[in-house]
Amino acid sequence: AILKHHTRHDVATGHQSSAVITNSILKVKTLDESIRSTERYSTARKVRQSMRRIFSVAQDLKNDESSFPEGSPKPKGRPTKRTYRPSFEQSTQSLRTSFRQSRRYMRNSSAFQSIKNMFSSQSSEIGMKSLDKNLSKSVKFDALFVREYKTQADVNPGVSKGAALSLSWDYRTCPSVLVDKYEDSRPPRKKLNELKLSSAERQERLQSCGVSRAEMDKAIKQTNIAKRKRRETIEQLSQSATQEKLEKFKRGFKKKIGLRKSDKQEQEDLWRNAEAYFLKNC
């Protein structure tokens, strides 16, 4: 459309010269080569590069409106309707041919074919989904793979007294067993009140798992601190908006004076520590 408007403007002023047509044809050929070369890149990059080249050619054609051959006569009036249409068709014949070739190259490119295949695969998946709805559905189980994790003391403000229980990252793999055999040999499931453990029962289980008394006392101390903070949070719910503003001001003030790292520095430190951990353990 931009090339067509440019040609109409030149015909209307009576200055459609062979030099401008030749320059336009060369630029369209350059556009064809750019479209042809986009097959080496990804689909998103193809579209972006083609659009940049198209806008570049359009800008060059717009700048060529003042580049007429030397000695050309000045425009005198507007051409008649009789001479306008043949001159326009003759001057744009090569441009239209080049654009047809560009469109043919684009259709034959790998980007167009990949998009076409994507839509065809989606339509086939929709057809398979509609076919699966009419088929019977069933679930089958084969074998169970069990892991036994170690028990350790943890911090949980939800406990009433003593240290809380949690699972560690260390585990032991047990032999696999069939589902039917497991269901036949497993004990009956416990009720909810039977799953609740008192502080004495938790302490006894931790001691049987090899947890020392010092570790349990440390977990109890941290649990009491978490309980106190939870109570303070509940009591200060009415002043939550003011507290958030105050904490935000404190963080900003610490960043200004250098007592606190910026978010970007904290992210860099996290990535650096993760990389060091990976190199050390992997």
Does residue 171 contact residue 197 with C-beta atoms inside 8 Å? no
Contacts of 226 (CB under 8 A, 6+ apart): 155, 156, 157
The three-state secondary structure class of 152 is strand
> Does residue 96 surpass a pLDDT of 70?
no
Average pLDDT over residues 233-240: 82
CA distance 204 to 211: 10
Reduced to 3 states (helix: H, G, I; strand: E, B; else coil), residue 79 is coil
Percentage of the chain lying above the pLDDT 70 cut? 51
Tokens of 143: 């074998």
Mean pLDDT of 81-105: 58
pLDDT-derived band at 152 (thresholds 50, 70, 90) equals very high
Which token pair is 111? 């980007």
Q: Residue 206's pLDDT is what?
A: 92
Give the residue-averaged pLDDT of 161-190: 90
Q: Please give the backbone phi and psi of residue 158, each rounded to the nearest 5 degrees, phi first.
A: -80, -15
Q: Report the alpha-carbon distance of residue 251 to residue 186 in Å, rounded.
A: 54
H/E segment holding residue 135: none
Please report the pLDDT score of residue 9 as a whole number: 45
- The alpha-carbon radius of gyration of the chain (Å, integer) is 38
| CA 172/CA 258 separation, integer angstroms | 47
Q: How far is the C-alpha of 127 from the C-alpha of 132, rounded, in Å?
A: 9
Q: How far is CA 235 from the centre of its chain?
A: 41
Q: For the chain, give every domain's residue range.
A: 2-119, 142-237, 252-282
Task: Report the C-alpha gap between 241 and 239 in whole angstroms.
Answer: 6
* Model pTM score: 0.38
- pLDDT class for 84, splitting at 50, 70, 90? very low
Other CB atoms within 10 A of residue 20 CB: 20
Helices (H) and strands (E) in the chain, counts: 11, 4
- Is the pLDDT assigned to residue 122 strictly greater than 70? no
Mean pLDDT, to the nearest integer, of 189-196?
87
What is the pLDDT averaged over residues 169-182? 89
| Residues forming beta bridges with residue 151, ordered by sequence position | 167
231 close to 237: Cβ distance less than 8 angstroms: no
Q: Read off the pLDDT band of 254 (50, 70, 90).
A: confident
Which residues share a beta bridge with 153?
Answer: 165
Note the pLDDT tens digit of each residue in 40-72: 545 556 556 666 666 665 555 555 544 444 454
Element (H, E) at 147: strand 147-154
With cut-offs at 50, 70 and 90, classify the pLDDT of residue 192. confident
Tell me the three state secondary structure of residue 130: helix
